[in-house]
Amino acid sequence: MTVLMEFIKVSKKYRKSDTLALDGVSFELKEKERIAYLGPNGSGKTTTCKIMSTVLYPDSGKVLFHRQNIFKMRKEYLKKIGVMFGNKTKLMENIKLQDAFLLLGHIYGLPEKDIKKKVFYYAERLNVGHLLDKRLREFSLGERTKSELIGTLLHDPEMLILDEPTIGVDIISRYEMYELLKDINKTRGTSILITSHNVEDIKELAERVILINKGKVVFDGGFPEFKRRFGVEEKDVVLRFRNYTEFEKAKQELSGFVKRIEGVNLHLAIRDEEMPRVLNKLVSFQDYEILIKEKDLSEILRRSFSA
């Protein structure tokens, strides 16, 4: 895949707070790629997004888009990217939403017919059609966020920079957003970099994960590798007994693995290398169901942040 954007040893210090927010950050975003840019609070995610969208200048290092310095081609570059900060808006708040979209579309030099067509389509997909003749200042947080995403997509950007784009959005609307973003990524080949503290966002959208901590990249790799690296080598197994005697027997024999007991359900934590030994024991019990749980992503995130 062709490299779309490159961050090369980018550093940024906020003089006021004397904080080194980015300390030699390097990574690449390829065409059509979907990256989750993760890290704990204050790790440098928003700073990265601001530099990527030319709002902030780095102290050192380079940022390239199609191998050109973004700060030297700022005007053309800004037409090719879509930027969304979850807590900010680029839409006018005191006019009707449809007019705010028209205004924004005009700034990008889009024909009115084109803007209206897109607004109609996206509003339908994100279920905000009924808000088009209302004013943004009257909107709920989730409604604002969804409108903001539409504003970000109007000019068909090649790359999306989404800094916490799902703040305040309920679970149904979030899935509408994921489906829309995945569609755009697939059909138009739009690259996506998203920061989020939301487990579902990452699960649904990330192909690759970049983990940043204290301004330094600490992991950069595929999503499956990320899960393998930071997931514990342990599985959660639940045994549901229908027979009390069998339950008692299992409780005794598996005592070393029991994490929790709920009624006649035994919750076990089993390390991968112990699995064969446990399975051997399991065949001696009767009248039970077995459930092996997938590793919880929030647990993986917690571990990776403390790494």
Ligand X SMILES: Nc1ncnc2c1ncn2[C@@H]1O[C@H](COP(=O)(O)OP(=O)(O)OP(=O)(O)O)[C@@H](O)[C@H]1O
Q: Which stretch binds ligand X (CB under 6 A): 10-18, 65-73, 124-132, 287-295?
A: 10-18
CB of 148 to ligand X, least distance (A): 17
| 108-147 positions binding Mg ion, by CB under 5 A | none
42 touches ligand X by CB under 6 A:
yes
The span from the CA of 71 to the CA of 211, in Å, is 25
User: With contact defined as beta carbons under 8 Å apart, do 192 and 205 qualify?
Assistant: yes
Nearer to ligand X, 82 or 86 (CB): 86
Nearer to Mg ion, 46 or 185 (CB): 46
User: Of 92, 197, 198, which Cα lies nearest the Cα of 148?
Assistant: 92
44 touches ligand X by CB under 6 A:
yes
Nearer to ligand X, 2 or 17 (CB): 17
The 10 Å CB-count burial string (b at 16+, else e) for 16-37 is: eeeebbbbebebbbeebbbbbb
The DSSP result for 245-291, as a single string, is: HHHHHHHHHTGGGEEEEETTEEEEEEEGGGHHHHHHHHTT--SEEEE
Structure tokens at 40: 């704990």
Binding string, 259-288, against ligand X, x = CB under 6 A?
------------------------------
| 8-47 positions binding Mg ion, by CB under 5 A | 45-46
Nearer to ligand X, 159 or 210 (CB): 210
Residues that bind ligand X (CB under 6 A): 14, 16-17, 19, 21, 39, 41-47
